[in-house]
């Protein structure tokens, strides 16, 4: 049975419907599309908000933490009244108010190898809003195993990066980052800070890639790693290839 837009949805998504690459048919694809956002922090705040606003029909959000005051500088999906409330509940409240036409599913747990398959299996696209390699490896490995597309993002001070992995025979995350960095490197990069607007930039681009993937339009960041320097306001693109010796996606 074909999914149709309601009268209210046609008004809500007017600006989408005016775009030739989207139109009503594309908006209907968004309505039946789904995305899982792992981490509702700075990156997840931006990606979840814009995917909900765009009308992606089912959005899952995963996060084990509660809202803290120090989060509010960049995690704009939350507010002061939500301090000490689970992030997934805070985000659910925001997203339902933004767009009551879509379905929001919450997972208040830490994403890991043990629960990866259970959490990801029902979603078309997986969006990375995390801040550590262990979780990114778990996301990547689950996406390879279940043939899910992985929209990656990361931020650091004034810098960010974004790519799309495990799509259309492109590389997976481990083709680029084979191993978790040594503990001393990870520790050195912990707590160094990030300008609040930077995850907004990267998270919004992640949302745009999800929309393009659902609609099958444009050129997606497959085989390309986009590096953003907010201090100098420039982008650098690095080509990345599938590794024929990758222990995850080449076997």
Mean residue pLDDT across the chain: 95
Q: What share of the chain is helix, strand, coil (3-state, %, to 5)?
A: 40, 20, 40
pLDDT band, residue 178 (cuts 50/70/90): confident
Higher pLDDT, 181 or 95: 95
pLDDT in tens, 88-97: 999 999 999 9
pLDDT in tens, 30-70: 999 999 999 999 999 999 999 999 999 999 999 999 999 99
Three-state SS string across 44-112, please? HHHHHHHHHHHCCCEEEEECCCECCHHHHHCCCCCCHHHCCCEHHHHHHHHHHHHCCCCEEEEECCCCC
Task: Give percent above pLDDT 90 in the chain.
Answer: 91
pLDDT in tens, 101-128: 999 999 999 999 999 999 999 999 999 9
- Picking from 63, 62, 60, 83, the residue whose alpha carbon sits closest to that of residue 72 is 83
Domains within the chain, CATH numbers bracketed: 33-239 (3.40.50.720)
pLDDT in tens, 2-30: 789 999 999 999 999 999 999 999 999 99
Asked if pLDDT for residue 189 goes beyond 80, the answer is: no
């Amino acid at each position: 049975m074909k999914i149709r837009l309601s009268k209210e949805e046609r008004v809500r998504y007017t600006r989408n419907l005016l775009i030739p690459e989207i139109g009503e048919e594309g908006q209907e694809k968004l309505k039946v599309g789904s995305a899982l956002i792992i981490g509702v922090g700075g990156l997840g705040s931006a990606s979840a908000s814009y995917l909900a606003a765009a009308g992606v029909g089912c959005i899952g959000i995963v996060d084990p933490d509660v809202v803290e005051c120090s989060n509010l500088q960049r995690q704009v999906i939350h507010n002061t009244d939500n301090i000490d409330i689970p992030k997934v509940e805070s985000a659910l409240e925001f997203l339902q108010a933004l767009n009551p036409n879509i379905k929001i599913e919450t997972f208040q747990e830490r994403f890991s190898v043990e629960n990866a398959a259970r959490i990801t299996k029902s979603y078309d696209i997986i969006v990375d809003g995390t801040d550590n390699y262990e979780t990114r490896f778990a996301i990547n490995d689950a996406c390879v195993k279940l043939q899910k597309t992985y929209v990656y993002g990361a931020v650091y001070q004034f810098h960010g990066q974004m790519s799309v992995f495990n799509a259309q025979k492109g590389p997976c995350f481990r083709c680029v980052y084979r191993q978790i960095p040594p503990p001393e490197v990870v520790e050195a990069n912990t707590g160094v800070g990030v300008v609040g607007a930077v995850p907004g930039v990267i998270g919004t681009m992640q949302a745009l890639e999800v929309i393009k993937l659902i609609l099958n339009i444009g050129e997606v960041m497959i085989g390309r790693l986009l590096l953003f320097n907010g201090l100098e306001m420039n982008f650098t693109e690095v080509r990345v290839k599938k590794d024929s010796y990758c222990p995850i996606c080449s076997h």
